[in-house]
């Protein structure tokens, strides 16, 4: 079956690329980036990804916050960390949503926000 997913293109050296790289390093699943530039004032990109458990979701959020700090970015706002079913990381130009798979499918943010020119979100290729 052919791969119908569209690959995420992030400008090297950008906050968006840094976040995608860190999530990939942490083995986040089903990473999707939704371009918001010119469509919403909340951010330029929304990244949605899943972790296999609340423990992995929490660890990914903490490691991402630390990576941003090391890169000289302002400390991101993090919401939802105690339960870690759905963690929101507001890194300014990029908003990241980390979910447990069941919670992600319930809220289905990709469907709500996936309004790109081609009507599709962009998903990272499987490794």
Q: Cα 83–88–90 angle (5° rounding)?
A: 145
Q: How many residues does the chain have?
A: 127
Residue 124 scores a pLDDT above 80: no
Average pLDDT on 7-26 reads: 90
**Percent of the residues in the chain that have a pLDDT greater than 90, as a whole number:** 68
Which segments within the chain are labelled E, that is strand?
A: 29-35, 45-50, 77-79, 86-90, 94-99, 122-123
Q: Which tokens go with 22?
A: 């860190």
């Amino acid at each position: 079956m052919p791969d119908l997913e569209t690959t995420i293109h992030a400008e090297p050296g950008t906050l968006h690329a840094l976040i995608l790289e860190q999530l990939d390093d942490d083995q986040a699943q089903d990473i999707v980036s939704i371009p918001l530039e010119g469509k919403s004032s909340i951010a330029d990109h929304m990244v949605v990804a899943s972790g296999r458990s609340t423990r992995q979701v929490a660890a990914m959020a903490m490691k991402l916050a630390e990576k941003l700090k090391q890169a000289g970015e302002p400390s991101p706002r993090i919401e939802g960390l105690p339960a870690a079913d759905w963690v929101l990381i507001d890194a300014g130009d990029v908003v990241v949503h980390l979910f447990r798979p069941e919670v992600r499918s319930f809220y289905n943010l990709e469907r709500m926000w996936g309004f790109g020119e081609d009507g599709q979100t962009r998903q990272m290729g499987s490794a």
